[in-house]
Each structure stands twice: as structure tokens, then as C-alpha cells.
């Protein structure tokens, strides 16, 4: 069994990946954001580079901040971006 997750990227994560969004087909074994990051890093070296330091990344599931341990569940949209710098 596989499922799909939509991912959006911002700031230097978007620039370094060279895309602002994509849909990823995940095996059922990918349950959390942490699992997904591991899955992506294994699939392509560009993810290894951009996701090399997880301390510099933040995540939002359906527009709410979450951590790496968050379950992807039935989420519609995952966002991956650096720490915010507004205000």
C-alpha cells in the first residue's frame, strides 16, 4: 500500500530544492514526518543536502506547526521551511 502527500517548500529550502511544491508517493511504512525525511533522503541526494541539518528545518501539517514525530495521517499538506524571520 502507498499513499500520497503534498509538500510545499519555502525560503532557502525551496531555492535549494529548485521547486516550491511536489506530491510524494510514500510507502505505508512512512508514518511520521521524520520517516518521510528519511525516505526522501534515501531517494535523491538533493534531499540529503537540503535536509542535512534537521535543526534548521521547521514543519507545518495543514498549516499548524508540528515536530518530526508528527503523524502524517490524513494530512492534506506538509510544509517544510527554515525558522521564520517575520516581524
Partner 1 sequence: MIKILVLDDDFDAGAEIANLSALGGGAVASFVGQVRGDGELDALELEHYPAMTKKALRKIAERADKQWPLHGVTIVHRVGRLKVGEQIVLACTCSDHRQAAIEACSFIMDQLKTVAPFWKKEIKQDGSESWVEERQSDIDAAQSWND
* Interface positions with partner 1 (CB under 8 A): 8, 10-12, 60, 63-65, 77, 79, 81-87
Smallest distance from the beta carbon of 32 to partner 1, in angstroms?
Answer: 20
Lay out the sheet containing 58-61: strands in order across: 21-27, 2-9, 77-81, 58-61, 64-66
CA 34-51-18 angle, to 5 degrees, is 125
Helical H segments across 19-86, by residue range: 33-43, 45-50
Please identify, using beta-carbon distances, which residue of 2 and 6 lies nearer to partner 1.
Answer: 6
Smallest distance from the beta carbon of 64 to partner 1, in angstroms?
Answer: 8
Smallest distance from the beta carbon of 22 to partner 1, in angstroms?
Answer: 16
Please identify, using beta-carbon distances, which residue of 44 and 77 lies nearer to partner 1.
Answer: 77
Amino acid at each position: 500500500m502507498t499513499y500520497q502527500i503534498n509538500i510545499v517548500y519555502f525560503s532557502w529550502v525551496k531555492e535549494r530544492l529548485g521547486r516550491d511544491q511536489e506530491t510524494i508517493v510514500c510507502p505505508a511504512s512512512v508514518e511520521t514526518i521524520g520517516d518521510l525525511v528519511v525516505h526522501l533522503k534515501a531517494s535523491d541526494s538533493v534531499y540529503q543536502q537540503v535536509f542535512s541539518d534537521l535543526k534548521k528545518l521547521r514543519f507545518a501539517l495543514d498549516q499548524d506547526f508540528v515536530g518530526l514525530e508528527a503523524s502524517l495521517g490524513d494530512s492534506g499538506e506538509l510544509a517544510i521551511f527554515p525558522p521564520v524571520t517575520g516581524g
